[in-house]
Structure 1
Amino acid sequence: MGATLYVCTTCKAGLPVPEGELPPGLRLYAALKRAGAPDGVRIVGVECLSACNTGCAVSLTKPGAWSYVYGRLTLDDVPAILEGAGKYAASADGIVPWRDRPTVFRKQSIARIPPHPPHEEAAE
């Protein structure tokens, strides 16, 4: 199963959004969709990743792998986000070597979440 790049579509990036304008998170989501997902990645818009003070935010996850939340992203970061998502999808465990990560993934990580254990191990 492939990786999912979740994009917070409601993110306001800590700024008021003038009436009639799209929130920055929705603009980021649209730009990522227009650019096209790398192999093994699907791009999904979600409402609120609860990273409001560090928006725009995205999350990368896949079964059995480490997951990540990244923030302070802009439209200028679209190529780097897609590059990083592709490398993440190609990794076995969600861990991309530090030097191979795009700068925004090295410097703008909000959280790293361990893989969810199988149900039989959850009771330990």
Structure 2
Amino acid sequence: MLTPVEDGPAIVVCNTCRFSADAREDGQGRRGGTMLAEALAQARDADPRYAGIAIQQMPCLFACSEHCTVHLRAPDKVGYVLGRFTPDADAARALLDYAVAYAASEHGKVPFAQWPQGVKGHFIVRVPPAGLVVES
């Protein structure tokens, strides 16, 4: 049931996520999560700033009330679930820009002033790392 992956900063993409709030798939029968994973991989591979961020996929993050959902995580950092993205290059770059700042942060907290516009309003939940909770 579990598959080992690289243990470092990663964007885990729900590859079965809906295309949008209103549609399960696009006009060609493709799921939004698969499209977002492809856009993330293309953006990462095109820009060396993103080289340290892994793009990992899994079916269903159980955030089914949303669409195009990802989990941003890194060892010993607070993780975040974000969603409601359009599965395109703009969303991919915004997520990767945030992921770079997140990876460089001490505990996973990126100051709001550094958030790319494309991630604002997309946060669903934050997840404390194992054995820790977040202080106020």
- In the superposition, the TM-score normalised over structure 1's length comes to 0.85
Q: Which runs of no fewer than 5 residues in structure 1 stay unpaired?
A: 119-124
- Runs of 4+ aligned structure 1 residues displaced above 4 Å come to none
Match of 2:109 in 1: 95
Map 1:77-92; keep pairs closer than 5 Å: 77-92=91-106
Judging changes above 3 Å, is the alpha-carbon distance between structure 1 residues 46 and 54 closer, same or farther for their aligned structure 2 residues?
A: same
Q: Which amino acid aligns with 1:43?
A: I
Please, which moves more after superposition, 60-69 or 13-22?
Answer: 13-22
Match of 1:61 in 2: 73
Of Structure 1 and Structure 2, the greater helix share is in: 1
Query: Are the counterparts in 1 of residues 44 and 51 from structure 2 also a CA contact under 8 Å?
Result: no
Query: Are the counterparts in 2 of residues 64 and 117 from structure 1 also a CA contact under 8 Å?
Result: no
Query: Are the counterparts in 1 of residues 26 and 32 from structure 2 also a CA contact under 8 Å?
Result: no
Match of 1:70 in 2: 82
Q: Which runs of no fewer than 5 residues in structure 2 stay unpaired?
A: 1-6
1:101 to partner: Cα distance: 1.1
Find 1:8's aligned residue among 6, 10, 14: 14
Query: Are the counterparts in 2 of residues 39 and 86 from structure 1 also a CA contact under 8 Å?
Result: no
User: Identity of counterpart residues, as a percentage?
Assistant: 35
Judging changes above 3 Å, is the alpha-carbon distance between structure 1 residues 9 and 99 closer, same or farther for their aligned structure 2 residues?
A: same
Find 1:52's aligned residue among 55, 64, 67: 64
RMSD: 1.9
Q: Secondary structure at the match of 2:55?
A: strand
1:56 to partner: Cα distance: 0.7
The one-character-per-residue Cα deviations of 1:14-55 (angstroms, maximum 9, x if unpaired) are 413268621111011011111116142111011111111211
The one-character-per-residue Cα deviations of 1:58-116 (angstroms, maximum 9, x if unpaired) are 11011111000001011131111110111111111111111101224331100011121
Query: Are the counterparts in 2 of residues 40 and 90 from structure 1 also a CA contact under 8 Å?
Result: no
Match of 2:33 in 1: 25
